[in-house]
Structure 1
Amino acid sequence: MERLTVARPPSAAGMEWLKQGWRLFKLWPIPWMGMTAAAFLAIFGISMLPMVGGAVVELLSPLLVAGYMFAARAADQGEPVTFLYLAEGAKRHGRPLLLLGLVYLVGGLLIGQAMQMLGGSSLQEMVRMAQDPASLSPEAARSVLDQSLPAVLVGLALYTPLLMATWFAPALVVFKDFSPVNALWWSLWTCFANWRPVLLYSLAMSVIAALAILIPFGLGLLVFLPWAMTSTYFAFTQQFVAGRSEQ
């Protein structure tokens, strides 16, 4: 396992990651979008599996992220982007990436159970309200939100560290040969240590994601997903640098 140290970039680095990711996307826009369309088709097909489709998608998600990381590195080195990179993670580091997927899957299930225990029927009512907001009066909607708020806050408090731990973990596995446990720890610690640029990046990406969803026929997502992956690649390379690791 390569020894690393974590750089401490300024808050503005979060926007720089976005800019660099966009630059990389613009180098090969059609291949990136084609690669993403292939990924969406695969995800859709797997999700149609009865009972287990959603779980399998979450289990395989680190393999998909790893494929994008390989493609981003190739593009950064001047090589063409092709959908064949989607399989690189599975070919080179399949087992540890699947273990990361298992952590994400189990963690998500446990968090969901915790939210269900706290929120119960109020969470189900909130989902129904979101699907048909006209069916509830303002007073009933306020009551549902008040009852479900504790569960939502607990879920957010638990899910945020899970996302932080899994954000850079696939890249650490495939580029630095980290074990899944070490990759999760280093990803989590780095996000905490550099919370300012990470927060700025996350807020900006949330806005971009909301705008992308509004574009018809999923075309916005064909741009958003590769941009999210290329910017993640730059966030990774600019924070994890070779050197003696300090714990």
Structure 2
Amino acid sequence: MGKLPANTGWVWVKEGFALFRKQPVEMSTLFLAYMFLMLAVGVLPLLGQILPLILVPALSMAFMEACRNIEQGKKVYPSLLVTAFRTPALKKLLVLGAFYLLAAILALAASALIDGGVTWQVMSGSKELNAETIHNSNMSLAMMFSAAVYVPAAMAFWYAAPLIAWEGMGVGKAVFYSFFAVQRAGRAFLVYGLAWMGIGVLFPAIVSSFVALVLAKSVAVLIALPLSLVLTIVMYCSFYPTYTWVFGRPQVAPEKQLPPPDVRSDQD
């Protein structure tokens, strides 16, 4: 794989919008089903805090499969959420999810080097988040430090799930290939990340601030929430082209064919 030019990152964003425009209602329904499932799992006692993160690789494949369906002219259904649970790759995806969880814990624990453990205490629920807590600590800097620590893990995980599900790779091999694939496409990913910072974060904030200034805060909320929801779904759609540009389109599994007539007649 050759190095991709920086503007490829913007192409990925545009292709995400193009995929969403083909089946906006279906993709929105899939995303809402995903959110509902995550909320339902989150309320489970004990497991509710760790299980959602472990399930991310398996559930994220629903959106990759949905985008592949759209590309092939097929309909997207919420049942795609359980696609990974019906494949031999499920065990590997759950192991990958455990690595997600471990990496998140380590990155969060690293914040203690900056704020003495305040962020960890807030995230674990042992300390209340309020203005005084934020003012008397370096939480903002600590969270940025945690994000920086997590970057190598994010690179290793970015392509890992589809490489496991579609290419049949083991967890270690998928993580290895993912890390170096992202590294080689670093300039494209930089543009991609900056584009989504602008489109997914700054744009909704500007729109809601303008509406609140001209009309009212309640109207701004009514506009900002669906706008942020749609942009989040588009972002999920854009994950698919980041894969196809690097590893090519996933191979379609051959359909099970009937035996030739002479063989069937011998079996009858």
Relative to the length of structure 2, the TM-score reads 0.76
What is the CA–CA distance in structure 1 between the aligned matches of 2:197 and 2:51, rounded to whole Å?
25
Structure 2 equivalent of residue 175 of structure 1: 166
| Equivalent residues in 2 for 1:49-198, closer than 5 Å | 49-92=44-87, 93-116=89-112, 118-123=114-119, 132-133=130-131, 141=135, 144-145=137-138, 149=141, 151-198=142-189
CA contact (8 A) 1:7 1:238 kept: no
CA contact (8 A) 1:172 1:183 kept: yes
Taking a change above 3 Å as real, the CA distance of residues 62 and 218 of structure 1, as seen in their structure-2 partners, is farther
What is the CA–CA distance in structure 1 between the aligned matches of 2:4 and 2:23, rounded to whole Å?
28
| Equivalent residues in 2 for 1:17-28, closer than 5 Å | 17-28=12-23
What is the CA–CA distance in structure 2 between the aligned matches of 1:165 and 1:173, rounded to whole Å?
13
AA matched with 1:227 = V
Is 1:238 the counterpart of 2:234 in the alignment?
A: no
What is the CA–CA distance in structure 2 between the aligned matches of 1:204 and 1:74, rounded to whole Å?
26
User: What is the DSSP-based 3-state SS (H/G/I as helix, E as strand, rest coil) of the residue aligned with 1:197?
Assistant: helix
Is 1:226 the counterpart of 2:217 in the alignment?
A: no
User: What is the DSSP-based 3-state SS (H/G/I as helix, E as strand, rest coil) of the residue aligned with 1:144?
Assistant: coil
User: What is the DSSP-based 3-state SS (H/G/I as helix, E as strand, rest coil) of the residue aligned with 1:8?
Assistant: coil
AA matched with 1:28 = Q
AA matched with 1:144 = S
Moved more, 216-225 or 23-32: 216-225
Task: Give unpaired runs (5+ residues) of structure 2.
Answer: 209-220, 250-268
- 1:148: how far off? 6.6
What is the CA–CA distance in structure 2 between the aligned matches of 1:87 and 1:72, rounded to whole Å?
15
AA matched with 2:25 = I
Structure 1 equivalent of residue 193 of structure 2: 202
- 1:114: how far off? 2.5
AA matched with 1:78 = G
Structure 1 equivalent of residue 36 of structure 2: 41
- 1:226: how far off? 2.7
CA contact (8 A) 2:111 2:117 kept: no
Count of aligned residue pairs for this structure pair:
229
Instruction: Give CA-to-partner distance per residue, 1:155-187, whole Å, 9 cap, x none.
Output: 233201111111111111112111111111111
What is the CA–CA distance in structure 2 between the aligned matches of 1:124 and 1:239, rounded to whole Å?
36
What is the CA–CA distance in structure 2 between the aligned matches of 1:228 and 1:84, rounded to whole Å?
21
AA matched with 1:174 = A
- 1:118: how far off? 4.5
AA matched with 2:200 = A
Taking a change above 3 Å as real, the CA distance of residues 59 and 235 of structure 1, as seen in their structure-2 partners, is same
Identity over aligned residues, as a percent? 24
What is the CA–CA distance in structure 1 between the aligned matches of 2:232 and 2:84, rounded to whole Å?
17
What is the CA–CA distance in structure 2 between the aligned matches of 1:153 and 1:27, rounded to whole Å?
36
AA matched with 1:103 = F
| 4+ residue runs over 6 A deviation | 124-128
What is the CA–CA distance in structure 2 between the aligned matches of 1:219 and 1:61, rounded to whole Å?
23
What is the CA–CA distance in structure 2 between the aligned matches of 1:124 and 1:107, rounded to whole Å?
14
Taking a change above 3 Å as real, the CA distance of residues 222 and 90 of structure 1, as seen in their structure-2 partners, is farther
Q: Highest relative contact order (Cα 8 Å, sep 6+), 1 or 2?
A: 1
